[in-house]
Amino acid sequence: MTNELKPEYEITTGARPTGTTTDQDAAANVQQMFDTIAPKYDLLNHVLSVGIDRWWWTRAARSFRPILERPEAVALDLCCGTGDMTLALLKHRPHQQPTTSNQQPATAPILAVDFSHQMLSRGAEKFAAHNIIPIEADALHLPIAENSIDLVTSAFGFRNLSNYEAGLAELYRVLRPGGQIGILDFNQPTGLTGTLYNLYFKQILPRFGGLISGDPAAYTYLPDSVARFPRPSRMIELMADAGFTHPTWTSYTFGTAGLYRAIKP
């Protein structure tokens, strides 16, 4: 058994659900897929990850505490889904709220972006009492001014973009000089861990996910999307090629997931 990429994965620049051949088709398919599974998304995340997903979000958010603790810093959670990573970031924001409806918050809001209406709607319910602004938008075409964001995070969403290079370029565009990105996503481990990971991720998870969600294709797509996603060494190259400096990857849970970080010079 080998964990090496198949040749077609090596040249893939983004997600490609079965039956799609272009960036546009892939994006539309992914959008529809997440709209469909949105009602059961939170339940499936927690059950299928055995609760480890909460620890991943918490650890990733904590690593950006120096930025998040600055009241004026603007954070953007990309592909926010139902908002769990967004709320993990919120825990490190100063607790300052406006005293009247005419006053601006003393602490800049977190921007939560997703292009799935159903996912974002569920996130917006969680955000209602907090200093978070939900924005329905395409990650490759953000309605955000350049050089305006201090931190962009993405938890298990960047992998679903139809073009990774274009995604990194868009993050670079909106970040202020000195701003940081944090991409938390799955990885394909090697060795015995990789063998056990493949058994669960490619055989067991799709069956349970499809049964509970009612959409087997979505949970067949999940392991396929991880197989297509660049390995850490390649992702670090892509971040550097996009203009970022100090790109790093920190392994989580035996390499099954990890956090990519980089800085806009």
**Is 201 inside any structural domain?**
yes
**Is 155 inside any structural domain?**
yes
pLDDT of residue 4: 39
Domain of 143, CATH number, reads 3.40.50.150
| Residue 67, both tokens | 């930025």
State which residues form the domain around 240.
22-93+105-263
Q: Which residues, 6 or more positions from 131, have their beta carbon under 8 angstroms from its beta carbon?
A: 90, 93, 97, 105, 107, 109, 110
| Residue 257, both tokens | 């997931």
Number of domains into which the chain is organized = 1
Say how far apart CA 258 and CA 260 lie, in whole Å.
Answer: 7
pLDDT of residue 8: 39
pLDDT of residue 222: 86
pTM of the model: 0.90
Bridge partners of residue 199, in order along the sequence = none
**Is 118 inside any structural domain?**
yes
3-class state of residue 59 by DSSP? helix
**Is 5 inside any structural domain?**
no
Report the chain's terminal Cα–Cα distance, integer Å: 41
**Is 16 inside any structural domain?**
no
Per-residue pLDDT of the chain (265 residues; tens, 9 = 90+): 333 333 334 445 899 999 999 999 999 999 999 999 999 889 888 877 888 999 999 999 999 999 999 999 999 999 999 999 999 999 999 986 544 455 655 899 999 999 999 999 999 999 999 999 999 999 999 999 999 999 999 999 999 999 999 999 999 999 999 999 999 999 999 899 889 988 888 888 888 888 878 888 888 898 899 999 999 999 999 999 999 999 999 999 999 999 999 999 9
**Is 3 inside any structural domain?**
no
**Is 32 inside any structural domain?**
yes
φ/ψ of residue 263, rounded to 5? -125, 140
**Is 258 inside any structural domain?**
yes
